[in-house]
Protein backbone atom coordinates (compact mmCIF):
# COMPACT_ATOMS: atom_id res chain seq x y z
CA UNK A 1 0.00 0.00 0.00
CA UNK A 2 2.84 2.31 0.87
CA UNK A 3 4.59 1.53 -2.42
CA UNK A 4 1.59 2.60 -4.44
CA UNK A 5 1.44 5.81 -2.47
CA UNK A 6 5.07 6.69 -3.36
CA UNK A 7 4.47 6.00 -7.04
CA UNK A 8 1.51 8.30 -7.05
CA UNK A 9 3.38 11.14 -5.44
CA UNK A 10 6.12 10.77 -8.06
CA UNK A 11 3.71 10.97 -10.99
CA UNK A 12 2.01 14.07 -9.52
CA UNK A 13 5.39 15.78 -9.11
CA UNK A 14 6.34 15.03 -12.70
CA UNK A 15 3.08 16.42 -13.99
CA UNK A 16 3.45 19.63 -11.98
CA UNK A 17 7.04 20.14 -13.19
CA UNK A 18 6.03 19.54 -16.82
CA UNK A 19 3.21 22.06 -16.64
CA UNK A 20 5.46 24.65 -15.02
CA UNK A 21 8.16 24.37 -17.73
CA UNK A 22 5.80 24.57 -20.71
CA UNK A 23 5.50 28.09 -22.07
CA UNK A 24 2.51 29.38 -23.98
CA UNK A 25 3.12 29.24 -27.70
CA UNK A 26 3.21 32.41 -29.74
CA UNK A 27 3.56 33.04 -33.43
CA UNK A 28 7.11 33.75 -34.76
CA UNK A 29 7.20 37.05 -36.55
CA UNK A 30 9.72 37.02 -39.43
CA UNK A 31 12.39 39.74 -39.24
CA UNK A 32 12.39 42.44 -41.89
CA UNK A 33 15.06 42.05 -44.60
CA UNK A 34 16.91 45.23 -43.51
CA UNK A 35 16.90 44.39 -39.77
CA UNK A 36 20.18 43.83 -37.97
CA UNK A 37 20.38 40.25 -36.70
CA UNK A 38 20.74 39.76 -32.97
CA UNK A 39 22.21 36.62 -31.55
CA UNK A 40 20.04 35.33 -28.72
CA UNK A 41 21.65 33.94 -25.62
CA UNK A 42 21.41 30.16 -25.50
CA UNK A 43 18.86 28.76 -23.07
CA UNK A 44 20.18 26.63 -20.34
CA UNK A 45 18.54 23.32 -19.85
CA UNK A 46 17.13 23.20 -16.34
CA UNK A 47 18.30 20.16 -14.51
CA UNK A 48 17.00 19.05 -11.16
CA UNK A 49 19.58 17.76 -8.83
CA UNK A 50 18.95 14.15 -7.85
CA UNK A 51 17.42 13.73 -4.45
CA UNK A 52 19.15 11.69 -1.88
CA UNK A 53 17.49 8.36 -1.45
CA UNK A 54 15.42 8.08 1.68
CA UNK A 55 14.61 5.10 3.67
CA UNK A 56 11.17 4.58 5.15
CA UNK A 57 11.04 5.15 8.86
CA UNK A 58 9.42 1.82 9.54
CA UNK A 59 10.47 -1.56 8.40
CA UNK A 60 13.01 -2.71 5.87
CA UNK A 61 12.39 -2.38 2.18
CA UNK A 62 13.96 -1.24 -1.11
CA UNK A 63 15.16 2.37 -1.47
CA UNK A 64 13.10 4.27 -4.09
CA UNK A 65 15.06 7.06 -5.78
CA UNK A 66 13.37 10.25 -6.97
CA UNK A 67 13.03 10.51 -10.71
CA UNK A 68 14.91 13.38 -12.34
CA UNK A 69 12.63 15.31 -14.69
CA UNK A 70 14.08 16.94 -17.81
CA UNK A 71 12.02 19.65 -19.47
CA UNK A 72 11.70 19.47 -23.24
CA UNK A 73 10.92 22.75 -24.89
CA UNK A 74 8.74 22.46 -28.00
CA UNK A 75 7.63 25.11 -30.44
CA UNK A 76 4.12 25.39 -31.63
CA UNK A 77 2.63 27.87 -34.01
CA UNK A 78 2.63 28.48 -37.73
CA UNK A 79 4.14 26.02 -40.08
CA UNK A 80 5.76 28.65 -42.37
CA UNK A 81 9.49 29.08 -42.88
CA UNK A 82 11.48 30.32 -39.96
CA UNK A 83 13.46 33.48 -40.54
CA UNK A 84 17.08 32.95 -39.70
CA UNK A 85 18.32 34.82 -36.71
CA UNK A 86 21.73 35.45 -38.35
CA UNK A 87 22.11 37.13 -41.73
CA UNK A 88 25.08 35.71 -43.63
CA UNK A 89 27.76 38.28 -44.35
CA UNK A 90 29.17 38.18 -47.87
CA UNK A 91 32.86 38.99 -47.99
CA UNK A 92 33.64 41.89 -50.26
CA UNK A 93 36.67 42.10 -52.53
CA UNK A 94 39.86 43.48 -50.95
CA UNK A 95 41.49 46.44 -52.59
CA UNK A 96 45.26 46.14 -52.69
CA UNK A 97 47.02 49.07 -51.05
CA UNK A 98 50.11 50.08 -53.02
CA UNK A 99 53.31 49.73 -51.05
CA UNK A 100 56.02 52.37 -50.71
CA UNK A 101 57.99 53.12 -53.88
CA UNK A 102 61.83 53.11 -53.94
CA UNK A 103 63.45 56.36 -54.98
CA UNK A 104 67.18 56.13 -55.86
CA UNK A 105 69.47 58.56 -54.07
CA UNK A 106 71.27 61.17 -56.20
CA UNK A 107 74.82 60.26 -57.20
CA UNK A 108 77.40 62.11 -55.19
CA UNK A 109 79.58 64.43 -57.27
CA UNK A 110 82.17 64.93 -54.56
CA UNK A 111 82.46 67.60 -51.93
CA UNK A 112 84.39 70.68 -53.07
CA UNK A 113 87.41 71.59 -51.05
CA UNK A 114 87.20 74.55 -48.70
CA UNK A 115 87.91 77.74 -50.60
CA UNK A 116 87.08 76.26 -54.00
CA UNK A 117 83.76 77.51 -55.46
CA UNK A 118 81.47 74.86 -56.94
CA UNK A 119 82.14 74.43 -60.63
CA UNK A 120 85.33 76.49 -60.43
CA UNK A 121 88.87 75.40 -61.27
CA UNK A 122 90.31 72.72 -58.99
CA UNK A 123 92.83 73.82 -56.38
CA UNK A 124 96.51 73.38 -57.26
CA UNK A 125 98.00 70.00 -56.32
CA UNK A 126 99.73 69.75 -53.00
CA UNK A 127 103.48 69.72 -53.44
CA UNK A 128 105.39 66.86 -51.90
CA UNK A 129 108.16 68.06 -49.59
CA UNK A 130 111.56 67.22 -50.96
CA UNK A 131 114.20 65.50 -48.95
CA UNK A 132 116.61 67.85 -47.22
CA UNK A 133 119.51 65.48 -47.78
CA UNK A 134 121.79 66.64 -50.61
CA UNK A 135 121.94 64.37 -53.65
CA UNK A 136 124.82 61.96 -53.74
CA UNK A 137 127.73 63.11 -55.84
CA UNK A 138 128.10 61.10 -59.04
CA UNK A 139 130.98 58.67 -59.05
CA UNK A 140 133.60 59.94 -61.47
CA UNK A 141 134.23 57.66 -64.39
CA UNK A 142 137.90 56.76 -64.62
CA UNK A 143 139.60 57.47 -67.94
CA UNK A 144 139.90 54.54 -70.30
CA UNK A 145 143.70 54.52 -69.93
CA UNK A 146 145.90 55.05 -66.85
CA UNK A 147 148.30 57.39 -68.74
CA UNK A 148 147.21 60.82 -70.02
CA UNK A 149 149.19 63.53 -71.90
CA UNK A 150 150.90 65.91 -69.51
CA UNK A 151 152.28 68.27 -72.21
CA UNK A 152 153.62 68.24 -75.82
CA UNK A 153 155.72 70.67 -77.94
CA UNK A 154 158.30 70.71 -80.82
CA UNK A 155 161.71 72.22 -81.56
CA UNK A 156 163.99 72.64 -84.67
CA UNK A 157 167.07 70.50 -85.34
CA UNK A 158 168.77 70.12 -88.68
CA UNK A 159 170.72 66.98 -87.66
CA UNK A 160 167.93 64.46 -87.05
CA UNK A 161 164.23 63.51 -86.68
CA UNK A 162 163.44 62.42 -83.07
CA UNK A 163 160.52 61.83 -80.64
CA UNK A 164 161.21 61.86 -76.89
CA UNK A 165 159.61 62.65 -73.52
CA UNK A 166 159.15 61.60 -69.87
CA UNK A 167 156.77 59.22 -68.06
CA UNK A 168 155.59 60.78 -64.79
CA UNK A 169 153.76 59.45 -61.74
CA UNK A 170 150.66 61.05 -60.27
CA UNK A 171 152.92 63.25 -58.14
CA UNK A 172 154.90 64.16 -61.30
CA UNK A 173 157.99 62.11 -60.45
CA UNK A 174 159.89 60.01 -62.98
CA UNK A 175 158.22 56.59 -63.51
CA UNK A 176 160.27 53.60 -64.65
CA UNK A 177 159.37 50.15 -65.97
CA UNK A 178 157.16 51.18 -68.95
CA UNK A 179 157.78 51.24 -72.69
CA UNK A 180 156.79 53.66 -75.47
CA UNK A 181 155.92 52.70 -79.06
CA UNK A 182 156.39 55.15 -81.96
CA UNK A 183 155.10 54.40 -85.46
CA UNK A 184 154.07 55.89 -88.78
CA UNK A 185 150.33 56.64 -88.95
CA UNK A 186 150.21 54.80 -92.31
CA UNK A 187 151.30 51.60 -90.54
CA UNK A 188 154.57 51.37 -92.50
CA UNK A 189 156.87 51.66 -89.50
CA UNK A 190 156.81 51.17 -85.70
CA UNK A 191 159.39 50.77 -82.97
CA UNK A 192 159.21 50.21 -79.20
CA UNK A 193 161.70 51.48 -76.63
CA UNK A 194 163.28 49.61 -73.78
CA UNK A 195 161.70 49.98 -70.32
CA UNK A 196 162.18 53.43 -68.85
CA UNK A 197 164.57 54.04 -65.98
CA UNK A 198 163.85 55.67 -62.66
CA UNK A 199 163.91 59.09 -64.33
CA UNK A 200 161.11 57.97 -66.69
CA UNK A 201 162.80 59.34 -69.85
CA UNK A 202 162.45 57.75 -73.32
CA UNK A 203 163.82 58.68 -76.80
CA UNK A 204 163.31 57.33 -80.35
CA UNK A 205 165.56 58.67 -83.18
CA UNK A 206 163.71 58.05 -86.45
CA UNK A 207 166.21 59.54 -88.94
CA UNK A 208 169.62 61.25 -88.85
CA UNK A 209 168.31 64.01 -91.12
CA UNK A 210 165.22 66.19 -91.00
CA UNK A 211 162.26 64.21 -92.36
CA UNK A 212 158.67 65.08 -93.11
CA UNK A 213 156.17 62.65 -91.53
CA UNK A 214 153.14 62.00 -89.30
CA UNK A 215 153.75 59.78 -86.31
CA UNK A 216 151.84 58.35 -83.35
CA UNK A 217 153.16 57.88 -79.77
CA UNK A 218 151.63 55.46 -77.17
CA UNK A 219 152.64 54.03 -73.76
CA UNK A 220 152.58 50.20 -73.55
CA UNK A 221 153.35 47.57 -70.93
CA UNK A 222 155.79 44.66 -71.27
CA UNK A 223 153.17 42.59 -73.20
CA UNK A 224 152.49 45.39 -75.71
CA UNK A 225 149.09 46.42 -74.26
CA UNK A 226 148.42 50.11 -74.87
CA UNK A 227 148.15 52.12 -71.64
CA UNK A 228 147.39 55.51 -73.17
CA UNK A 229 145.64 57.03 -76.15
CA UNK A 230 147.64 57.42 -79.33
CA UNK A 231 149.04 60.95 -79.69
CA UNK A 232 149.80 62.22 -83.24
CA UNK A 233 152.78 64.52 -84.01
CA UNK A 234 154.20 65.90 -87.27
CA UNK A 235 157.79 66.63 -88.33
CA UNK A 236 159.17 68.58 -91.36
CA UNK A 237 162.40 69.42 -93.16
CA UNK A 238 162.01 73.18 -93.38
CA UNK A 239 163.18 75.83 -90.93
CA UNK A 240 165.41 73.48 -88.95
CA UNK A 241 167.91 76.14 -87.86
CA UNK A 242 168.23 77.45 -84.32
CA UNK A 243 165.37 79.77 -83.44
CA UNK A 244 163.36 78.84 -86.50
CA UNK A 245 159.77 77.50 -86.55
CA UNK A 246 160.47 74.08 -87.96
CA UNK A 247 159.78 70.89 -85.93
CA UNK A 248 162.21 68.07 -86.24
CA UNK A 249 162.18 67.03 -82.57
CA UNK A 250 158.73 66.30 -80.95
CA UNK A 251 158.42 66.03 -77.17
CA UNK A 252 155.43 64.20 -75.52
CA UNK A 253 155.21 63.70 -71.70
CA UNK A 254 152.75 61.27 -70.12
CA UNK A 255 151.38 61.16 -66.54
CA UNK A 256 149.99 58.05 -64.87
CA UNK A 257 146.82 58.92 -62.91
CA UNK A 258 146.06 55.42 -61.55
Contact 183, 191 (CB under 8 A): yes
Q: Span 154-172, mean pLDDT?
A: 96
Whose CA is closest to 180, among 159, 203, 160? 203
State the chain's mean pLDDT as an integer.
75
How many domains, in total, are found in the chain? 2
Give domain status of residue 96, yes or no: no
Q: Could you give the percent of the chain with pLDDT greater than 70?
A: 53
Q: Are residues 162 and 71 in the same domain?
A: no
Q: Where are the alpha helices (DSSP H) in the chain?
A: 2-21
Tens of pLDDT, residues 1-15:
666 667 777 777 777
Q: Is residue 141 part of a domain?
A: no
Of 92-101, 107-116, 153-162, give the range with the top mean pLDDT.
Answer: 153-162
**Does position 27 have pLDDT exceeding 90, yes or no?**
no
pLDDT for 251: 97
Residue 40 lies in a domain: no
d(CA 129, CA 175): 53
Domain for residue 245, yes or no?
Answer: yes
Whether residues 160 and 69 share a domain: the answer is: no
In a domain, 160, yes or no: yes
Same domain, 152 and 250: yes
Residue 243 lies in a domain: yes
Contacts of 227 (CB under 8 A, 6+ apart): 145, 146, 147, 178, 218, 219, 220, 221
Q: Which CATH number belongs to the domain containing residue 210 in this structure?
A: 2.60.40.10
Query: Which region among 39-48, 114-123, 152-161 has the lowest average model confidence (pLDDT)?
Result: 39-48
Do 157 and 250 lie in one domain? The reply is yes
Task: For residue 6, give its domain range.
Answer: 1-25+63-77
Amino acid sequence: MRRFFLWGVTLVAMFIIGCGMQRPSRPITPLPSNATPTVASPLSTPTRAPASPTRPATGPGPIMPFVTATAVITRTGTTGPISPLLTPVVATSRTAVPGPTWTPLPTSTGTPRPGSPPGGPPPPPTSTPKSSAPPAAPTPTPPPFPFVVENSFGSPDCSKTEINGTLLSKTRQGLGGYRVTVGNVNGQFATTTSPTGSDGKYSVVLYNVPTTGRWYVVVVDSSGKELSARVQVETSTANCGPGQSGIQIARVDFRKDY
